[in-house]
Chains A and B, each alone.
Chain A
């Protein structure tokens, strides 16, 4: 109850006119930044940070918090409409969102993403309010061994994306891991696969790689489909005019999305709290988990459940990531680290005493998240009809537009042409792979998860001096291991029971 009293005091801060103003500004900027491929919350916050130095710290963090938060909404827009994830947490949203939009239900797909984001986010903020500092302490219970198992669980989501040809799927997953291992080894600092090239020393930057593999590869594909599209457009030009009303999901849709949203909301918050994981792992774990529950359509073919599971989890994780930041001064993600830098710039001392020394700041931020959540939902719903117009733009105009967006996004990661070159190369490679039946999604997921898995696993082995016991010496680890084993064994058991009969095709 004490927490709610503090929260109400926090609302007094958050609802001051200037704070509402910056919150709205942050929400709108976050949506834009999130929807632009490549400029994720990390870049968005980093770019805005210098602007906020003159602000009062509470106002500044409210703006950046709203931006971070709204970014999770925005990321799904381009994922659903263009099959280009606006930021990494939206990779899993694209898996079902884009097919659903292609099926002629883009409005419902966007609406599902927005509602799931809202509900998932609300669950995350509520948990944050109720437990505040307690939540962060739970995060600390997780050592390397626990994180390793959680990442293995997240990795199982790859198996669902592999498609019809398992060998090609495995090859492409390995390729993702190989590409991720370029650069300096995180533990020893030794260079790997850098071939004497200074740029490769820093590794393959994530954002340009993903924009290239997904976005630019899509452009090359569109170039090939251009004439077919024009013929199609000539024959039917009546479609694709959608109002907010028409994009409302039906009651049946809502019933389908609610259970995955709630589940992902809780799991996502929890994953967000874990040190070093953040929204990307959150959405992948949420999506992987949904695979274990019933979906009306198969996942990956435009299932509402898939969009809901991934979007709810990433917003919840974004909220959860604030717990260790506020309670312990520990950043839960890259964006968290930038915010932490901000806290220091504004003259606050992030750390375990922040809740005691600056309660108005902490609670002002938490209550502003409620406000930001509502603002973002409203703005996001209002822009749906405009967004959907994107789909009716002829392909010949889309090609240059998407190419520009890809270049800008790739450039902005490190403000250099290196990103753009990586983007083009991975775009061409991504296109060729796709053309030859290698699905790119497993490569991207492996690229994100493999470095984290490697780091945690190697740290676990250093701490245990190479003994495997470290993965099974506490009840928590045993429970996690059990979850992991159930996840990987169920399909095998099912397959044996079905005697390998069913050909269940899951295009990616």
Chain B
């Protein structure tokens, strides 16, 4: 009998919780409607679908800090909320399906790295959001660590890890080459690179790491021949001489200590491969036009501040590329269409 009681109790609690969970999507009531201008009059929630301390988190917190410091949000506070359930899909879906009213007070960090798994694994598309702005764009390079232990086939065969053209040749002649990199953007870049140089993944394989820093670790340990990274994550290692820039995945060479890396068209008869990695801000589809205009404008003001340039773009070696809501929407929609076509998603 007692056992039965215990179980019933537990089951009841579960039901109660499930019920609460279902309701928790909406909080408070919004008041702005179809008026022409929008000024925030309560706390703003900024959803970041990555965990605290990561790149997206720093991006979200930096912008909200500048917005507050510069007095762009009418003295209201912005609360960054990290929602990582379902690898971020739950947080994104919550924003996508948010009701009008609340929608004006909810922002979402939305990057190319968020869009790809979302399109792959869920039914949400960029059209289910309002794209408010693109704030920065990043590109990638291929690096190597020639001083590491030779653990790969290519290194053991005496392959030159500083010369990507040699690696392409070797791969064509049957020596196995391994590239490492992070999820999302890096995989897309790898696929484009592979298609351009005419190799298969059995000749030049890719190992996915949780983060770029994990992938760099693998390169330093000699577990991969080349590693795909953005300039910022690799810059310290290049300075210390641990990593060597091998190939600029861009239409032109980089400057500074990355200037030695040639582009793909320089090392052979190939087209340059460039996959822009963008960082943007989105909002619920039901956000009012007035609010969209307000936030897009506020984000534009942020991108014009010194703090943004010095403390964010320069520190992370990103390209300043602000796009307002109209330009960003077109850009993201095109990007999504390209991505879906390449991966056969309908």
Contacts and interface: CB of A to CB of B under 8 A. Distances in A.
Interface of A: 46-47, 49-50, 140-144, 183-184, 186-189, 191, 198-203, 205, 216, 220, 223-224, 275-276, 324, 328-331, 337-342, 344-345, 347, 349-353, 414-418, 420-421, 424-425, 427-428, 459, 462-463, 465
A337 B122 CA distance: 28
- Interface core residue of B61, B117, B213 (most chain A CB under 10 Å): B213
B104 interface: no
B297 to A, nearest CB: 27
B86 A198 contact: yes
A324 B214 CA distance: 11
A428 B10 CA distance: 7
A275 B152 CA distance: 18
26 contacts: A50-B61, A140-B148, A140-B222, A143-B151, A144-B223, A198-B93, A200-B86, A201-B87, A201-B122, A223-B9, A224-B6, A275-B214, A275-B217, A330-B213, A337-B53, A337-B54, A337-B211, A344-B58, A351-B235, A352-B240, A353-B236, A353-B240, A421-B18, A424-B14, A462-B205, A463-B151
Interface stretch (B77-85, B190-198, B260-268, B327-335): B77-85
Q: DSSP majority for the A interface? A: helix
Interface in B147-206: 148-149, 151-153, 176, 178, 183, 187, 202, 205
A415 B20 contact: no
A60 to B, nearest CB: 12
A260 B222 CA distance: 34
Nearest to B54: A341
Contact of A189 (B148, B149, B208): B208
Contact of B117 (A189, A345, A349): A189
A463 B93 contact: no
A418 B90 CA distance: 10
Interface of B: 2-3, 5-7, 9-11, 13-14, 17-18, 20-21, 24, 51-54, 57-58, 61, 81-90, 93, 117, 120-122, 148-149, 151-153, 176, 178, 183, 187, 202, 205, 207-208, 210-211, 213-214, 216-217, 220-224, 235-237, 239-240, 242, 315
Contacts of B10: 216, 220, 424, 427-428
Contact of A421 (B17, B152, B223, B224): B17
B89 A201 contact: yes
A84 B309 CA distance: 48
A186 B235 CA distance: 26
A424 B17 contact: yes
A183 B121 CA distance: 11
Nearest to B180: A459
A328 B216 CA distance: 10
A276 B217 CA distance: 10
A421 B14 contact: yes
Contacts of A202: 84-90
A331 B187 contact: no
B178 A463 contact: yes
B53 A49 contact: yes
Nearest to B88: A202
A399 to B, nearest CB: 10
Contacts of A420: 17, 21
A189 B187 contact: yes
Contacts of B183: 189
B51 A198 contact: no
B339 to A, nearest CB: 13
Contacts of B82: 46, 414-415
B15 to A, nearest CB: 10
B213 A340 contact: yes
